[in-house]
Structure formats: C-alpha cells, structure tokens
Structure 1
Amino acid sequence: MNNYCKKAVLSFLLILMICMAYAQKPEVFSQDDKAIKGYDPVAYFTHSKPIMGKDELKFSHDGANWYFSSQKNLDLFKSNPSKYMPQYGGYCAFGLAAGYKAPISPDAWKVVDDKLYLNYNKKVQADWMADEAEMIKKADKNWPTVKKDK
C-alpha cells in the first residue's frame, strides 16, 4: 500500500472514531446553545424555582452549555453534575413517557425523589402529574432508545 492510501485510510479511521465518539455523547436538549434555555439547573433544588443563568457563569458539560445564577450554583453543579441535570437530557418528561422528544418550558418543572423533571408547558405538566409515577416509569423505559433519535 502506498503512502497516499495509508494516509487516506488513517484519515478515514480518524473521522470514523470522531463520529462514533460524538454519537455516544448523552443527548441534552439545548435551545440557542443553552441547556434548559439558559436557566440555572441548581436553582430548582436550592431556590425551588427557575432562575435565569448569567452569561458569565457558563459551564460546558455533556455537549451542552449550562448557565448559572451564582458562582455557588456553578460550583455545586461542577462537583456533581448528574445530581442537578434534568432527567431525559432535559426533554419533556411527558413526551418521553409517550416515546418521543419534545422541547420544554423552564417554568413547567418538578423535583421528584431528588431528580428534576421538565415538561413542555404547565398544561402538559398537569397531565404528567396526574399519573406521575407511571409517567416516570414509562419515560425511564423509553429514554435509552429515544435518546438516540434525532
């Protein structure tokens, strides 16, 4: 095999490895390059309400940019991201229970068993909360397959 062919094969393999690594990253809902539309994920736990994050307090994790309302919240997130990240990559929990991805509203949220769940809007959230435990079971079952959907 000549040098040109070797370089072409190596280039192809490198591109393939990069694509595979990218494909294996967890899926996180992001709008305008902001997870949770720029809201602070830690604030749902520490302040019991959604609080908009600040541009200067941004942290990239799992292929998404997360924003925080305080340095303290940013530090808490960095110390344990999985504790504060919303379930199902931040997609609508009701949609996941039905087997599809849907965007969210930062105002339609609930913490259940120390896990953050987001929904499309407050009406959808009310439907989700009517049978919350069953919805979580269904969404947990669907997420491993649905997270690979584009």
Structure 2
Amino acid sequence: MKKLALLLLILISGSSFAQNDAKRISQYNLENKIGIQGYDPVGYFNQGKAVKGKKEVLVSYQGVTYNFSSAENKNAFLKNPSKYEPQYGGWCAYAMGSTGEKVEINPETFKIVDGRLYLFYNAYFNNTLKSWNKDQDNLKGKADTNWKKIYKN
C-alpha cells in the first residue's frame, strides 16, 4: 500500500512539474524554448553587460533553456536559478508596468534592480529603459501586479 501511495505521489508531482513547464513555455518570451535570445543570464550580474551565451553551454530549467558564456556562469545559475532569471518572463519591464503587455526586448538593454534582472525594448529611437528610469518605483509595482495577472501560479 505504501508503495502504491508513493508511486501516486510521484506521478502527481511529475504531472504538476510538466504543467508548470508548459505554462512557462507558453507565457515566457522564448525563441525555440531559449530565454533571453541566447544571452547569458549570469553575465548581466557578473560581467555587468549582456554577453551572448554558447549553444554548447546550456541548462534547461523548468522548460526554459538558457545559454551561458562559461561553465562558471552555468554553475552559478544552477546554484540559484531564480536569482538570475529575468523578471516578467523576459518581456519588456516598462511595457509590463505601463500597459501590462508582453513586448519584445533588446537583450542588451537591461537594468539590475534589487538583485533582479529587468529587460527592455530598445529599437526605432524608443529606448524604454529611459522611460522606466523616470518612474521606476511606480512602474515596477504595476509590472509586478500585471505579471501576476498574466502568469497566475
């Protein structure tokens, strides 16, 4: 009886992990399940700039694949993935706060706020990081609320 209960628990847990992975894949800003357009999420923190990751140095975390520029960055990510993942599923933080929309980003336009990575749209003379900086606290609060509505746990 105990073995049957344990097997059922494992099956239910596996099913809920798969559902969570599918949800992340459907709601996050991904290209072929790859986050941040292949940029190294740890590089933003350790190198202070956007660094393109290598296809051969990767980790799949809850359905999202991240590329890394080095094994050291990959290992840092594995120790604490939630520290390095971008906020709002990798969508533009300004748009999430301003309108609640999922807007593409330029992975080279970013800001670290309170130890978290925020990414921004920057094209056609429209750098949303500049607008974010003018009203960061208000926009961050609204973005947090809007993302919770989009990505309900």
Normalised by the length of structure 1, the TM-score is 0.80
1:68 aligns with 2:73: no
Distance in 1 (alpha carbons) for counterparts of 2:31 and 2:95? 17
Q: For the pair shown, which has the larger CA radius of gyration, 1 or 2?
A: 1
For the 8 Å contact 2:92–2:120, the answer to whether it is kept is yes
1:145 aligns with 2:149: yes
Which consecutive unaligned segments of at least 5 residues does structure 1 have?
1-16
Counterpart amino acid of residue 46 in structure 1: N
Stretch deviating more after TM superposition (20-29 or 46-55) = 20-29
Residue 21 of structure 1: aligned partner: 19
Residue 115 of structure 1: aligned partner: 116
Runs of 4+ off more than 2 Å:
22-28
1:30 aligns with 2:30: yes
CA shift for structure 1 position 23 = 7.5
Counterpart amino acid of residue 116 in structure 2: K
Distance in 1 (alpha carbons) for counterparts of 2:54 and 2:111? 22
Give deviations 1:68-106, integer Å, cap 9, x for gaps: 000000000011000000111111101111211111111
Percent identical across equivalent pairs?
40
Residue 12 of structure 2: aligned partner: none
Q: Choose which of 129, 132, 138 in structure 1 pairs with 2:136.
A: 132
Normalised by the length of structure 2, the TM-score is 0.79
Which consecutive unaligned segments of at least 5 residues does structure 2 have?
1-14
Cα 1:23–1:73 shift into 2, 3 Å: closer
Stretch deviating more after TM superposition (61-70 or 36-45) = 61-70
Distance in 1 (alpha carbons) for counterparts of 2:58 and 2:22? 23
Q: Aligned to 1:129, what secondary structure does the other structure show?
A: helix
Number of aligned positions between the proteins: 132
Residue 90 of structure 1: aligned partner: 90
Residue 56 of structure 1: aligned partner: 56
